[in-house]
Amino acid sequence: ITPLSPARKPTGAAVDILQAANARIASLQRQLMERDAQLAALRQQVTSSIDGSQREVAGQRLRAGSGADSDVAALTARNEANESMILQLNSTVESLGQQLRSLEGTAKDKARLEGQLASEQRLRAEADDKLRRAVLQLRADLAMLQATNSQANAMAAAEVDNALNSVSSLQRELDGLRGLLADTTARADDLRSQAYTANEELQAALDNLASKDSQLGEVERRMAALAAELDARKRAGDKAELEREAAAT
Protein backbone atom coordinates (compact mmCIF):
# COMPACT_ATOMS: atom_id res chain seq x y z
CA ILE A 1 0.00 0.00 0.00
CA THR A 2 1.38 3.43 -0.94
CA PRO A 3 1.57 5.73 2.11
CA LEU A 4 -0.56 8.85 1.87
CA SER A 5 1.24 12.17 2.05
CA PRO A 6 0.44 14.30 5.12
CA ALA A 7 -2.45 16.69 4.61
CA ARG A 8 -1.43 20.25 4.00
CA LYS A 9 -2.35 22.70 6.71
CA PRO A 10 -5.01 25.12 5.43
CA THR A 11 -3.62 28.56 4.81
CA GLY A 12 -4.93 31.47 6.82
CA ALA A 13 -4.37 34.02 4.05
CA ALA A 14 -8.02 34.06 2.99
CA VAL A 15 -9.21 34.63 6.56
CA ASP A 16 -6.61 37.38 7.09
CA ILE A 17 -7.78 39.23 3.96
CA LEU A 18 -11.40 39.03 5.05
CA GLN A 19 -10.54 40.27 8.55
CA ALA A 20 -8.63 43.19 7.03
CA ALA A 21 -11.66 44.01 4.89
CA ASN A 22 -13.84 43.96 8.03
CA ALA A 23 -11.47 46.37 9.78
CA ARG A 24 -11.46 48.68 6.75
CA ILE A 25 -15.28 48.73 6.59
CA ALA A 26 -15.49 49.48 10.35
CA SER A 27 -13.01 52.34 9.94
CA LEU A 28 -14.95 53.80 7.01
CA GLN A 29 -18.17 53.49 8.99
CA ARG A 30 -16.68 55.49 11.86
CA GLN A 31 -15.44 58.14 9.42
CA LEU A 32 -18.90 58.42 7.85
CA MET A 33 -20.54 58.82 11.28
CA GLU A 34 -18.08 61.60 12.13
CA ARG A 35 -18.80 63.29 8.81
CA ASP A 36 -22.55 63.02 9.49
CA ALA A 37 -22.11 64.72 12.89
CA GLN A 38 -20.00 67.50 11.36
CA LEU A 39 -22.52 68.02 8.55
CA ALA A 40 -25.41 68.18 11.04
CA ALA A 41 -23.58 70.86 13.03
CA LEU A 42 -22.80 72.85 9.89
CA ARG A 43 -26.37 72.49 8.67
CA GLN A 44 -27.62 73.87 12.00
CA GLN A 45 -25.24 76.82 11.74
CA VAL A 46 -26.37 77.61 8.20
CA THR A 47 -30.03 77.29 9.19
CA SER A 48 -29.50 79.70 12.09
CA SER A 49 -27.72 82.11 9.75
CA ILE A 50 -30.59 81.91 7.24
CA ASP A 51 -33.17 82.58 9.97
CA GLY A 52 -31.18 85.60 11.13
CA SER A 53 -30.84 86.81 7.55
CA GLN A 54 -34.56 86.51 6.97
CA ARG A 55 -35.27 88.55 10.08
CA GLU A 56 -32.78 91.18 8.95
CA VAL A 57 -34.38 91.31 5.49
CA ALA A 58 -37.79 91.90 7.08
CA GLY A 59 -36.37 94.71 9.22
CA GLN A 60 -34.64 96.28 6.24
CA ARG A 61 -37.88 96.21 4.27
CA LEU A 62 -39.68 98.06 7.03
CA ARG A 63 -36.91 100.62 7.54
CA ALA A 64 -35.70 101.25 4.03
CA GLY A 65 -39.08 101.60 2.33
CA SER A 66 -39.72 100.92 -1.33
CA GLY A 67 -36.28 102.22 -2.45
CA ALA A 68 -34.48 99.14 -1.06
CA ASP A 69 -36.95 96.49 -2.27
CA SER A 70 -34.65 95.32 -5.06
CA ASP A 71 -31.72 94.80 -2.64
CA VAL A 72 -33.87 92.90 -0.18
CA ALA A 73 -35.22 90.71 -2.98
CA ALA A 74 -31.65 89.90 -4.07
CA LEU A 75 -30.68 88.94 -0.52
CA THR A 76 -33.78 86.78 -0.21
CA ALA A 77 -32.91 84.99 -3.47
CA ARG A 78 -29.41 84.29 -2.18
CA ASN A 79 -30.88 82.81 1.01
CA GLU A 80 -33.15 80.56 -1.03
CA ALA A 81 -30.17 79.37 -3.10
CA ASN A 82 -28.30 78.50 0.10
CA GLU A 83 -31.31 76.54 1.39
CA SER A 84 -31.42 74.61 -1.89
CA MET A 85 -27.74 73.67 -1.50
CA ILE A 86 -28.41 72.39 2.03
CA LEU A 87 -31.21 70.16 0.70
CA GLN A 88 -28.79 68.73 -1.88
CA LEU A 89 -26.25 67.99 0.86
CA ASN A 90 -28.94 66.21 2.91
CA SER A 91 -29.74 64.03 -0.11
CA THR A 92 -26.05 63.16 -0.48
CA VAL A 93 -25.79 62.11 3.19
CA GLU A 94 -28.86 59.85 2.82
CA SER A 95 -27.32 58.21 -0.26
CA LEU A 96 -24.09 57.55 1.64
CA GLY A 97 -26.08 55.99 4.48
CA GLN A 98 -27.75 53.58 2.05
CA GLN A 99 -24.34 52.58 0.64
CA LEU A 100 -23.08 51.92 4.16
CA ARG A 101 -26.06 49.69 4.97
CA SER A 102 -25.36 47.70 1.80
CA LEU A 103 -21.74 47.23 2.87
CA GLU A 104 -22.85 46.02 6.31
CA GLY A 105 -24.95 43.30 4.62
CA THR A 106 -21.92 42.22 2.58
CA ALA A 107 -19.82 42.04 5.75
CA LYS A 108 -22.39 39.75 7.42
CA ASP A 109 -22.38 37.38 4.42
CA LYS A 110 -18.60 37.33 4.52
CA ALA A 111 -18.55 36.45 8.24
CA ARG A 112 -20.97 33.59 7.60
CA LEU A 113 -18.74 32.16 4.85
CA GLU A 114 -15.70 32.50 7.10
CA GLY A 115 -17.38 30.32 9.71
CA GLN A 116 -18.40 27.77 7.09
CA LEU A 117 -14.88 27.70 5.66
CA ALA A 118 -13.34 27.13 9.10
CA SER A 119 -15.82 24.32 9.83
CA GLU A 120 -15.08 22.55 6.54
CA GLN A 121 -11.34 22.87 7.12
CA ARG A 122 -11.77 21.15 10.48
CA LEU A 123 -13.79 18.37 8.85
CA ARG A 124 -11.07 17.87 6.26
CA ALA A 125 -8.36 17.70 8.94
CA GLU A 126 -10.40 15.15 10.90
CA ALA A 127 -10.96 13.02 7.79
CA ASP A 128 -7.24 13.12 6.93
CA ASP A 129 -6.33 12.05 10.46
CA LYS A 130 -8.90 9.26 10.39
CA LEU A 131 -7.54 8.00 7.08
CA ARG A 132 -3.94 8.02 8.33
CA ARG A 133 -4.90 6.06 11.44
CA ALA A 134 -6.80 3.54 9.32
CA VAL A 135 -3.75 3.03 7.08
CA LEU A 136 -1.49 2.57 10.11
CA GLN A 137 -3.90 0.04 11.55
CA LEU A 138 -4.01 -1.77 8.21
CA ARG A 139 -0.23 -2.03 8.11
CA ALA A 140 -0.22 -3.41 11.65
CA ASP A 141 -2.84 -5.97 10.64
CA LEU A 142 -0.81 -7.00 7.61
CA ALA A 143 2.31 -7.46 9.74
CA MET A 144 0.38 -9.64 12.14
CA LEU A 145 -1.10 -11.70 9.32
CA GLN A 146 2.33 -12.35 7.84
CA ALA A 147 3.34 -13.95 11.16
CA THR A 148 0.41 -16.35 11.27
CA ASN A 149 0.24 -19.80 9.73
CA SER A 150 -1.14 -20.62 6.30
CA GLN A 151 -4.48 -21.84 7.68
CA ALA A 152 -5.40 -18.30 8.74
CA ASN A 153 -4.45 -16.76 5.39
CA ALA A 154 -7.97 -16.96 3.95
CA MET A 155 -9.54 -15.15 6.89
CA ALA A 156 -6.72 -12.63 6.91
CA ALA A 157 -7.25 -11.91 3.21
CA ALA A 158 -10.94 -11.20 3.87
CA GLU A 159 -10.03 -8.87 6.72
CA VAL A 160 -7.54 -7.10 4.48
CA ASP A 161 -10.22 -6.66 1.82
CA ASN A 162 -12.57 -5.16 4.40
CA ALA A 163 -9.86 -2.84 5.61
CA LEU A 164 -9.04 -1.77 2.06
CA ASN A 165 -12.72 -1.15 1.40
CA SER A 166 -12.83 1.03 4.51
CA VAL A 167 -9.82 2.95 3.27
CA SER A 168 -11.47 3.44 -0.13
CA SER A 169 -14.66 4.67 1.53
CA LEU A 170 -12.68 7.11 3.65
CA GLN A 171 -10.80 8.29 0.56
CA ARG A 172 -14.07 9.01 -1.23
CA GLU A 173 -15.34 10.91 1.80
CA LEU A 174 -12.14 12.93 1.87
CA ASP A 175 -12.44 13.71 -1.85
CA GLY A 176 -15.97 14.98 -1.29
CA LEU A 177 -14.80 17.22 1.54
CA ARG A 178 -11.98 18.53 -0.62
CA GLY A 179 -14.45 19.40 -3.38
CA LEU A 180 -16.69 21.18 -0.87
CA LEU A 181 -13.70 23.08 0.48
CA ALA A 182 -12.70 24.15 -3.05
CA ASP A 183 -16.23 25.44 -3.69
CA THR A 184 -16.28 27.38 -0.41
CA THR A 185 -12.85 28.82 -1.16
CA ALA A 186 -14.09 30.02 -4.55
CA ARG A 187 -17.08 31.70 -2.92
CA ALA A 188 -14.80 33.34 -0.37
CA ASP A 189 -12.61 34.65 -3.20
CA ASP A 190 -15.69 36.10 -4.89
CA LEU A 191 -16.75 37.74 -1.62
CA ARG A 192 -13.29 39.26 -1.20
CA SER A 193 -13.64 40.77 -4.67
CA GLN A 194 -17.06 42.18 -3.74
CA ALA A 195 -15.66 43.62 -0.50
CA TYR A 196 -12.82 45.27 -2.42
CA THR A 197 -15.28 46.81 -4.90
CA ALA A 198 -17.53 47.94 -2.06
CA ASN A 199 -14.55 49.56 -0.32
CA GLU A 200 -13.72 51.46 -3.51
CA GLU A 201 -17.32 52.63 -3.86
CA LEU A 202 -17.42 53.76 -0.24
CA GLN A 203 -14.14 55.63 -0.63
CA ALA A 204 -15.56 57.39 -3.69
CA ALA A 205 -18.65 58.29 -1.67
CA LEU A 206 -16.47 59.69 1.12
CA ASP A 207 -14.53 61.72 -1.43
CA ASN A 208 -17.85 63.06 -2.71
CA LEU A 209 -18.87 63.93 0.85
CA ALA A 210 -15.58 65.80 1.33
CA SER A 211 -16.39 67.80 -1.81
CA LYS A 212 -19.84 68.58 -0.42
CA ASP A 213 -18.21 69.67 2.85
CA SER A 214 -16.09 72.08 0.84
CA GLN A 215 -19.21 73.41 -0.87
CA LEU A 216 -20.86 73.85 2.52
CA GLY A 217 -17.81 75.82 3.66
CA GLU A 218 -18.29 78.10 0.68
CA VAL A 219 -21.94 78.54 1.69
CA GLU A 220 -20.83 79.51 5.18
CA ARG A 221 -18.42 82.07 3.77
CA ARG A 222 -21.21 83.48 1.63
CA MET A 223 -23.51 83.61 4.65
CA ALA A 224 -20.84 85.43 6.65
CA ALA A 225 -20.51 87.99 3.86
CA LEU A 226 -24.30 88.27 3.70
CA ALA A 227 -24.51 88.79 7.47
CA ALA A 228 -21.85 91.48 7.26
CA GLU A 229 -23.73 93.18 4.44
CA LEU A 230 -26.99 93.02 6.37
CA ASP A 231 -25.29 94.41 9.46
CA ALA A 232 -23.91 97.31 7.41
CA ARG A 233 -27.34 97.95 5.96
CA LYS A 234 -28.83 97.85 9.42
CA ARG A 235 -26.35 100.40 10.72
CA ALA A 236 -27.00 102.60 7.68
CA GLY A 237 -30.76 102.30 8.22
CA ASP A 238 -30.40 103.14 11.92
CA LYS A 239 -28.29 106.15 11.01
CA ALA A 240 -30.85 107.31 8.43
CA GLU A 241 -33.62 106.89 11.00
CA LEU A 242 -31.70 108.97 13.53
CA GLU A 243 -31.12 111.64 10.89
CA ARG A 244 -34.81 111.72 10.03
CA GLU A 245 -35.71 111.99 13.69
CA ALA A 246 -33.15 114.79 14.14
CA ALA A 247 -34.52 116.59 11.09
CA ALA A 248 -38.06 116.24 12.37
CA THR A 249 -36.99 117.66 15.70
| Residue 148 belongs to a domain | yes
| Residue 129 belongs to a domain | yes
| Residue 113 belongs to a domain | yes
Q: If you average pLDDT over residues 10-35, what whole number do you get? A: 63
| Residue 143 belongs to a domain | yes
CATH of the domain at 171: 1.20.1270.60
| Residue 29 belongs to a domain | yes
Residues 89-105: tens digit of each pLDDT: 667 667 666 766 666 66
pLDDT of residue 20: 66
| Residue 14 belongs to a domain | no
pLDDT of residue 107: 63
pLDDT at 249 over 60: yes
Across the chain, what does the average pLDDT equal?
Answer: 71
Alpha-carbon gap, residue 7 to 44, rounded angstroms = 63
| Residue 115 belongs to a domain | yes
Domains identified in the chain, total number: 1
Find the domain containing 207 and state its range. Answer: 22-248
The beta-carbon contacts of 117-126 under 8 Å, at least 24 apart in sequence, are: 117/14, 117/15, 117/181, 117/184, 117/185, 117/188, 118/15, 120/177, 120/180, 120/181, 120/184, 121/10, 121/181, 123/177, 124/7, 124/10, 124/174, 124/177, 124/178, 124/181, 125/7, 125/10
Q: If you average pLDDT over residues 136-151, what whole number do you get? A: 74
DSSP label of 12: S
Q: Return the higher-pLDDT residue of 238 and 229.
A: 229
Query: How sure is the predictor about 34, in pLDDT bands with cuts at 50, 70 and 90?
Result: confident
- What's the distance, Cα to Cα, between the start and end of the chain in Å? 124
| Residue 9 belongs to a domain | no
Model confidence, pTM: 0.29
Q: If you average pLDDT over residues 37-53, what whole number do you get? A: 64
